[in-house]
Structure 1
Amino acid sequence: MLSRPYSYLFEISYYGARFKGWAKQKGQPTVEGKLERVFRFILGHEDFRFIGSSRTDSGVSCRQGFVQLFLREKTDLETLLPVLNLNLSGEIVLNSVREVPRDLNLIQAVSHKTYRYFFAEEHSFPAFASAFVTQVHQFSDLDKMEEKAQIFVGKHDFRAFCKVTPNKTDFVREVIEAKVYLTEEFAGNFFPEKVYCFEVTGTGFLYNQVRKMVAAIWHFSSDEIKERLANPEKEYKQVPTAPAHGLVLWETVLRDF
């Protein structure tokens, strides 16, 4: 018999600058850690477990992700949603909740994810914009960046565009779409006149992959990107990692279940 037979799915948003990433770390503010503290307080016990659909890096925000909660007893979480959000203080928002089958594997249920990275030129850059937009010294013009973004589309070995960790052996990932454009998501006195967006959709991403792809479209030539994708096992100078605060997990799409 399952110790926690009830399963609930939350859609979640959070402001990443407040946290050292998703996963719990001793002595550090994390999304998972704050969720656990608030749920422990509201539910009055700690007999529960979370699984997140994404483990975002420190400083990365999320517009739409998912969290699966396992409980021992059936609970009306929809009624508790307002008080949960009040205690999450606005830096994390649980947008909705529904009961789902206990055997749902949230990680495997993710069909694809879309990330957006926002950036602008350094001149006339308002201080408030730094919450969501990265200030960049120099980058290629829009047409060239769009051309370089297209090179990433398809299934490739991305080991030259990620932070390699000792336990990682599979570096093949599929990029479904990648593009760069001027965005209208930000407007007004708090933001630069021109804000650019690198948008990428894929079935999954490696550690720092999106942020290294962003740095490559800023500063690398098309030939350099092609060379690293074609010959990933060669020794290369490491691709810089773009700052975290410009990155947002924009959309997470789940398969039907």
Structure 2
Amino acid sequence: MKRYYYLIGIQFLGFRYHGWQKQPKLKTIHERIDKTLKFILGDVKFKTLGASRTDAMVSALEAGVELFIDETPIENTEDFLKLLNVNLPSDIKAISIAQVNKKFNIIQDVDFKEYRYLFSFPSKNHPFCSAFMANFQSPLDIEIMKEGARLFEGRHYFRSYCARPSEQTDFEREVFLCELIPNTEFTASFFPEKSYILKVSGKGFMRYQVRLMMGALVLLGKGEIDLDFIKNSLKPGSEQLVRYIAPASGLHLHKLSFDFQKSK
């Protein structure tokens, strides 16, 4: 049996979804994509695999799904992309499609992922912001939060920044970049005058890792923990608990890059 392989780039607003992964009786990104593909492809056998399992209410500017089709190739990828977008919900968009070879692995061939966390403080935001910007209604020391963010860069032990790990979870991860900057990229008439972005990039992240990192920075900005807490939490064998997980709606997968040399 001949099989054909395609990489589809997607964007989505995750505010009304229960994350990426399919779950019984719940609306998820993966479930909606598969439902749309089933409608388009009819009786053609296919399956899909995503590059990232985003949490409920998390969005993406660049995400990816690999499409495996048995026996019947896509004749015109440009027309297929248009047809896919006509039938997808308005808060999910296919932005690209390309055929890949059978050696390509959408999970193992990720070069890096960049997440961004958009937030403001201390005044309450306009309700329209709630889909993609977190709001902390207390004073925050942004300068010390910037110092704290830099502590996450490099290879560290991230057990304190992972929820519900398995016995096989490797807690040693490398963060390529972690910085907190003023938001000048995302604008809208209803946005607050000032807002901020936490940029985090690495090859892979554990469940809730970025949200727990952001949670620690919020606690730092409020004066409830200090820089030494973060330093100690990243030491091998640390069992310190970060007791605050930042809200999901401020987080989005900003960039997803693949190393196509691996599959040549």
TM-score normalised by length of structure 1: 0.94
Against the structure 1 CA distance between its residues 194 and 74, is the aligned structure 2 distance closer, same or farther, given a 3 Å change threshold? same
1:81-117 deviation line (CA, Å, top 9, x unaligned): 1121111122111101111102211111101100000
Match of residue 29 from structure 1 = 27
1:143-170 deviation line (CA, Å, top 9, x unaligned): 2111100000001110111113234431
Shift of 1:219: 1.1
C-alpha contact 1:61 1:249 (8 A) present in aligned 2 = yes
Unaligned runs of 5+ in 2: 221-225
Shift of 1:232: 3.9
Equivalent residue for 1:243, pick from 220, 236, 247 = 247
Match of residue 6 from structure 2 = 8
Structure 1 residues 133-142 or 191-200, which shifts more? 133-142
Match of residue 61 from structure 1 = 59
C-alpha contact 2:15 2:132 (8 A) present in aligned 1 = no
Distance 2:180 2:139 in 1: 12
Q: SS at the partner of 1:230?
A: coil
Aligned sequence identity (%): 36
Shift of 1:75: 1.3
Match of residue 108 from structure 1 = 108
Shift of 1:122: 3.3
Shift of 1:46: 5.4
Match of residue 125 from structure 2 = 125
TM-score normalised by length of structure 2: 0.91
Shift of 1:239: 2.9
Distance 1:245 1:124 in 2: 15
Q: SS at the partner of 1:125?
A: coil
Match of residue 230 from structure 2 = 225
C-alpha contact 1:142 1:181 (8 A) present in aligned 2 = no
Give the RMSD, CA atoms, in angstroms: 1.5
Q: SS at the partner of 1:16?
A: coil
Superposition map of 1:164-203 within 5 A: 164-203=164-203
Report how many residues are paired.
254
Distance 2:182 2:241 in 1: 30
* 2:219 is the counterpart of 1:214: no
